[in-house]
Amino acid sequence: MKIALVSPYDFSYPGGVARHVTSLYHHFTRMGHEVKVIAPASGKIGGFGDNFIRIGTPFPFAASDSVIRISISMHLAPTIKEVLAREKFDIVHLHEPFMPMVCSAILRFSNSINIGTFHAAQGKPGYSWGRPVSSWMLCRRARKLHGHIAVSKPAMNYIGRYLPAEYEIIPNGIDIHRFRPDVKPMEQYQDGKLNIVFMGRLEFRKGVNYLLKAYQEIKREMPNTRLLICGPGVRLRKRYEKWVAKNRLQDVIFTGMVSDEEQPRYYRTADVFCAPATSRESFGLILLEAMATGRPIVATNIEGFANVITEGKEGLLVPPMNSHALAESLLALLKDKEKRLQMGRNSIITAQKYAWEDVSRRVMEYYGKIIEKERQKRS
């Protein structure tokens, strides 16, 4: 089968959708399918050979306390038509299918079986189009989707408000061969201090400001601790670093972007992994990656995270935007090694359920279901 995996986001920039598409690409290829990835890209893309098709130049836009990097060119149609005519895909699988412009335009011109996966739980442009022209356009695009996947119940509930349909919930997956408990931690941080690790882009909604204030409390009570903040982001990093310096807070390290090779090692370096996001997380992918390395979790009690973690089993859930509650839960685990170890063991068991081998198989089975459904319609 010939499959197109389409992302609207800059494929040169790290993000959950890019990881999701990349993992599907590798697993479908191993299954023997011919797979192409289509996306805008601001830089070089490795690992795909001739199977990456660059369409559109992405630009960053502020959106809901985050930044999205998409192409807004109105001149993509000739390229898209040429690619679709040349490749003749059996399946065109669009991730966030209504996002401008790459996904939306490909959906418009595709005559293949079109599958949409919806990742967002709220706040992304492209769905809540209230103006008449936009609503009309959404309806036209929606009619071209043959199958609908949501990565979680929150994502399904969100898109379902704008596009009622029959959704198949198929979660994000994790590479349990890459994220595993026997990876080596980062040696430079194995000096006896207890490490709290954050992993993610430095955006307001990721809640690092609340984590820093929580760590200020923790440091007073447990001086033998360290906070590692891993992830890209220049503007907010400078702001956070100024706050750290002003408050004379010691042992806060901003690593910047972490390579794919080092990411599992940073998770493993954590005595506790912390995800203090304030909202708009449809799925706790970073939680699962940390869990697969055997780490206990402290995360905010938002719907996307609570779908992954059971309170008291793999970790602790705290109210969002509450630095004191965050500090108390982190301290509770930092002071109790046996609880950390038990939660870490539970985390490994839970993470195994999200192995990409199983997730990609479920997606492929869904393709087959939709193909058969469409065949019956046409016969």
Q: How far is 346 from 326, CA to CA, in rounded Å? A: 21
Q: How far is 101 from 94, CA to CA, in rounded Å? A: 12
Contact 162/138 with Cβ under 8 angstroms? yes
**Shared-domain flag, residues 338 and 363:** no
**Shared-domain flag, residues 137 and 218:** no
> Considering the domain boundaries, does residue 181 fall inside one?
no
Question: Domain span at residue 119?
Answer: 2-173+355-378
**Shared-domain flag, residues 19 and 158:** yes
pLDDT in the model for residue 64: 59
Tell me which amino acid residue 296 is: P
**Shared-domain flag, residues 63 and 113:** yes
> Considering the domain boundaries, does residue 182 fall inside one?
no
Contact 293/262 with Cβ under 8 angstroms? no
pLDDT in the model for residue 138: 72
Identify the helix (H) or strand (E) that includes residue 331: helix 323-334
Contact 149/115 with Cβ under 8 angstroms? yes
> Considering the domain boundaries, does residue 180 fall inside one?
no
pLDDT in the model for residue 237: 96
Q: Point out the residues of the chain with pLDDT beneath 50.
A: 125, 127-133
Sequence-ordered alpha helix ranges (H) in 45-128: 77-87, 102-109
**Shared-domain flag, residues 348 and 246:** yes
Identify the helix (H) or strand (E) that includes residue 30: helix 16-30
**Shared-domain flag, residues 205 and 291:** yes
pLDDT in the model for residue 16: 84
Identify the helix (H) or strand (E) that includes residue 88: none
**Shared-domain flag, residues 92 and 216:** no
Provide the whole-model pTM. Answer: 0.85
**Shared-domain flag, residues 24 and 169:** yes
**Shared-domain flag, residues 334 and 365:** no
> Considering the domain boundaries, does residue 278 fall inside one?
yes
> Considering the domain boundaries, does residue 205 fall inside one?
yes
pLDDT in the model for residue 218: 98
**Shared-domain flag, residues 11 and 61:** yes
CATH number at residue 326: 3.40.50.2000
Q: What is the count of structural domains for the chain?
A: 2
**Shared-domain flag, residues 284 and 295:** yes
Q: Which residues in 312-329 are b (16+ Cβ under 10 Å) and which e?
A: eebbbbbebebbebbbbb
**Shared-domain flag, residues 360 and 294:** no
